[in-house]
Amino acid sequence: MRRKEIKKLLREYKIAPKKSLGQNFLLNFYVLKKIAKNLGAEDVDIIVEVGSGLGFLTEILAKEAKKVVAIEKDKKLSEILKEKLRNFKNVKVLNIDVLKFSPKEFLGKKSYKVVGNLPYNIATATIRHFLEIEVQPKEMIFLIQKEVAQKISAKKSSLLKLSIEFYAKPKILFYVKKEYFFPKPKVDGAVIKIYDIKRGIPGIDRDLFFKIVKAGFSHPRKTILNNLSEGLKLEKREGRYFLTRTGIFHSKRPENLSIKNWFNVYYVFSKKRFK
């Protein structure tokens, strides 16, 4: 598909991309096919597509999947999708906010995967929504902002990276040039795979874990000892005592601690029973 064809289609439907919803339509058919191929629609009951837009990826998925649930927040676009895909009996279009989507309500106990070209302004919130939800997907593949994908997959830790690694493993599959979108965004995109999804770590209180992690990242350029002592309101000698028991050097910075390091910090510091 070409840019002028997209513009013609938008004129026919009398719509324009909404900046407020982060609408940037992917034009490259090869990239769409590559996303669908990496997803592998055949080994689950349902494919949930987020931000279906004009339905280009939806149509590809509908030919491969048992059932596709297409989520589109824009009411006008959702109406266009229903009309455009009316001959596909295995496609259901939902005009809702993805952050209010409940798999338990719409899918029951059926297995599913999630895919989509995510608006950059809700990418991380969408990923976390599906990771923290009661009925988790088997796998997710999203096209998101390149810098965000790199931060999630980086060697150095961050709150964002840890919030995903607590539940799953991330992997960048390939990059997508900004020229492949209409309207063209300011940055390139990346297709990221979120897999090995689980409910969390048995025996770990998620809220307490992230309270400790957030304290550890309260001042990224300070040492882990200073951050944990200040953030958890500990005397520095007490913070040093706990940190010594983790086997982590006091002078380390939070970004240099792996997810396993943070689990060790949790196991030791949680004995303090912070409220």
Q: Provide the residue type at 93 as one letter.
A: V
How far apart CA 185 and CA 146 sit, in angstroms, is: 11
Task: Reduce the DSSP state of residue 68 to 3 states and report it.
Answer: strand
- Distance between the two ends of the chain, CA-based, in angstroms? 56
Q: Is the pLDDT of residue 19 over 80?
A: no
pLDDT digits (tens, 9 = 90+) for 182-241: 888 999 999 999 999 998 888 899 999 999 999 999 998 899 999 999 999 999 999 899
DSSP character at residue 147:
H
Q: Number of C-alpha atoms within 13 angstroms, CB side, residue 110?
A: 19
Question: 39: Cβ–Cβ under 8 A, 6 or more apart, which residues?
Answer: 47, 61, 113, 115, 139, 141
> pLDDT > 90: what percent of the chain?
76
pLDDT at 3: 66
- CA dist 226 and 220 (Å) reads 10
Strand 68-71 relative to strand 139-145: parallel, antiparallel, unpaired? Answer: unpaired
pLDDT surpassing 80 at residue 80:
yes
- Looking at the domain 3-195, which fold is it? Rossmann fold (3.40.50)
In the chain, where the domains are located: 3-195, 206-272
Query: Which phi and psi (to 5°) does residue 68 adopt?
Result: -125, 130
Average pLDDT, the chain: 91
Per-residue tokens: 181: 């979108």
Q: Is the separation of the CB atoms in 61 and 33 below 8 Å?
A: no
User: What is the token pair recorded at 24?
Assistant: 């940037």
pLDDT (tens digit per residue) in 83-125: 999 999 999 999 999 999 999 999 998 999 999 999 888 999 9
Confidence at residue 121, expressed as pLDDT on a 0 to 100 scale: 85
SS3 164: helix
Please name the residue that has the structure tokens 């339905």: 55
Least confident of 15-24, 34-43, 52-61: 15-24
Q: What is the pLDDT of residues 131-178, one digit of tens each?
A: 999 999 999 999 999 999 999 999 999 999 999 999 999 999 999 999
Per-residue DSSP letter, 88: -
User: What letter does residue 144 receive in the DSSP assignment?
Assistant: E
SS3 content of the chain, % helix, strand, coil (to 5): 45, 15, 35
Tokens for 189, please give them: 């995109």
Indicate whether 130 pLDDT > 90: yes
Angle, helices 259-269 vs 224-231, to 10°: value is 40
Judge whether residue 270 has pLDDT over 90.
no
List the CATH code of the domain at 206-272.
Answer: 1.10.8.100
Q: How far is CA 208 from CA 202, 265, 275, in A?
A: 13, 11, 9
Residue 63 has pLDDT above 90, yes or no: yes
What's the CA gap between 189 and 205, in Å, rounded? 34
Structural contact between residues 40 and 61, judged by C-beta atoms closer than 8 angstroms: no
- Predicted local distance difference test score (pLDDT) of residue 275: 47
DSSP 8-state symbol, 15: -
With contact defined as beta carbons under 8 Å apart, do 157 and 135 qualify?
Answer: no
Average pLDDT over residues 43-67: 95
| Size of the chain in residues | 275
Inform me whether the pLDDT recorded for 69 exceeds 60.
yes
